Amino acid sequence: MATDRICVGAISGAFGVKGEVRLKSFCTQPEAIAAYAPLYTEDGSRSFTVKITREVPGGLGARLSGVTTKEEADALRGVSLFADRSKLPNLPDDEFYHADLIGLEVLDTGGQRLGTVRAVFNHGAGDILEIFAPGRKTALLLPFTKAIVPTVDLTAGRIIADPPEESE
């Protein structure tokens, strides 16, 4: 499921009047996002070098190459930024990029198919896998912990999960 680029941040709007943007970094060390440049829009049509200028409420202040006015910065609000996978650090065996988990088949410990990972959320208390299965009325949400998800096999393209009884 490996993709060539990984989402490392998003632009949440303009900061000031001279073309700076408010940047939300998805990196463990937020300021490391600048080291992964050039950063690309999702469709790859634009790329930017990044210079972090300061910490601001809700993220980082940054200058992006080619963005010189508040209007240009405002126009980028909501744009996700992607880095080449080759520029990102290799992860330990028990850590994964969210992009690598999306699309994986999920089986329970007995081998029964639970569905496919559609999204990975983190609202502050840890990662949650959203698992979609045809025929289900709602998505199955599983905490992405070693106890609930003991096996992630990227090579085989599957996850083995042990959901709590009330989740099924």
Give the start-to-end residue ranges of the domains of the chain. Answer: 5-86, 98-159
% of the chain surpassing 70 pLDDT:
96
Helix (H) or strand (E) holding 9: strand 5-14
**Fold of the domain spanning 5-86:** Elongation Factor Tu (Ef-tu); domain 3 (2.40.30)
pLDDT at 165: 75
Give the C-alpha separation, 9 to 79, whole Å. Answer: 9
Residue with tokens 């910065």: 73
Q: Reply yes or no on whether the pLDDT at 168 is more than 60.
A: no
Give the C-alpha separation, 50 to 30, whole Å. Answer: 12
The residues with which 108 forms a beta bridge, in sequence order, are: 161
The overall average pLDDT reported for the chain is 90
pLDDT at 122: 79
Q: What pLDDT, in 10s, does the model give residues 115-161?
A: 999 999 877 778 899 999 888 889 999 999 999 999 999 889 999 99
Residue 70 exposure: Cα atoms within 13 Å on the Cβ side: 4
Query: Are the beta carbons of 76 and 67 closer than 8 angstroms?
Result: yes
Residue 143 exposure: Cα atoms within 13 Å on the Cβ side: 8
Q: What pLDDT, in 10s, does the model give residues 31-74?
A: 999 999 999 999 999 999 999 999 998 899 999 999 999 999 99
Tell me the CATH number for domain 98-159: 2.30.30.240
According to DSSP, the β-strands at 105-108 and 158-161 are: parallel
User: Could you give the angle at the alpha carbon of 70 between the alpha carbons of 69 and 72, nearest 5°?
Assistant: 65
